Amino acid sequence: MKGPAIFLAQFMGDEKPFNNLKSICKWAAGLGYEGVQIPSWDPRCVDIEKLANSKTYADEIKGTCKEAGVEITELSTHLQGQLVAVHPAYDELFDGFAPEEVHGNPKARTEWAVNQLKLNAKASQNLGITEHASFSGALLWHTVYPWPQRPAGLVESGFKELAKRWKPILDVFDDHGVDVCYELHPGEDLHDGITFEMFLDAVNDHPRANILYDPSHFVLQLLDYVEFIDIYHERIKMFHVKDAELNTNGRSGVYGGYQGWVERPGRFRSLGDGDVDFSAIFSKMAQYDFEGWPVLEWECCLKHPEQGAAEGAPFIASHIIRKTEKAFDDFAGTGADEAFNKKILGLD
């Protein structure tokens, strides 16, 4: 396992050192981060079209990060991926994720989003990156609670359409040797293990359809986030290190009562301030030889982001396990060969 790394999306801003790639990378390196995950939609970080079409520019971006003391872990299209599939009820809310020229035009917005994903596939290859972070979008989320009763075949039709939109994108990523890692997230049609399995079936087990593992979303769904790794470790190619807590009470539970992030029972926290058992998670990741980056995603509703970032690097570093190459009791080994083993079994 590499790391620690940090997702820059929540830290980018108009004030130094957060206003350009060079300065924010120096800031991250100064805190102890070795990698940065880049939001491809933020022009203060990269020009994604130029990154896709110019290896020279890609090398310049890599050089900027290296000079600052970090390397690029992955590119992200969370906002663009969301727009690959949008139910009309959310059109106005999600228009803000796209350029103004496609606002009010869902078809054009989707075409823009799909093109953005394809550009990111090329850009990732130019950077020498083999994983990519995204959201699936959602056509079914408004039916997540089964009331009114869902018509027969509705879910199957929804996943069939979602797969129809994503299959050509996944093929482009395959052409460029890059995995699409979906962050399983409430609000997306892919939000837990079962929905990921449904999607995987719909895209015929496409080898580029993989998972960005983020335990915080599973805490808020009361899902066993440690067993999840046992089940899906072969598809887990990315890892967001984010904490969360669920403080249910007599007035509100997992749905949150339409309250803000501070008041709702389920809320995201800075590392170590929530309920996530990161020792168990990092142990599972080591058990299955996870070779990617543990990436801090800061979304705490209480702690200042700069404090969360400063505490995050040593927290992650302290949890990364250097996997042992020998058994603890090797000192007591007796040595053996086939004849000796047969003797122990009483077969001599």
The answer on pLDDT for 348 being more than 80 is no
Label residue 171 left, alpha or beta by phi (over 0 means left) and psi (-120 to 50 means alpha): alpha
Distance CA 294, CA 73 (A): 10
Distance CA 127, CA 55 (A): 8
Cis ω before 151 (30° cut-off from 0) = no
Instruction: Read off the pTM.
Output: 0.96
* Predicted confidence band of residue 333 (pLDDT cuts 50, 70, 90): confident
* The Cα angle at residue 204 between residues 201 and 83, in degrees rounded to 5: 75
Decide the pairing of beta strands 266-269 and 243-246. antiparallel
pLDDT tens string 287-310: 999 999 999 999 999 999 999 999
pLDDT tens string 195-223: 999 999 999 999 999 999 999 999 999 99
- CATH fit for domain 5-344, picks 2.40.50.1020, 1.20.1740.10, 2.60.120.10, 3.20.20.150: 3.20.20.150
Tokens representing 233 are 């470790």
pLDDT tens string 10-31: 999 999 999 999 999 999 999 9
User: Taking the domains of the chain in order of start, what are their residue ranges?
Assistant: 5-344
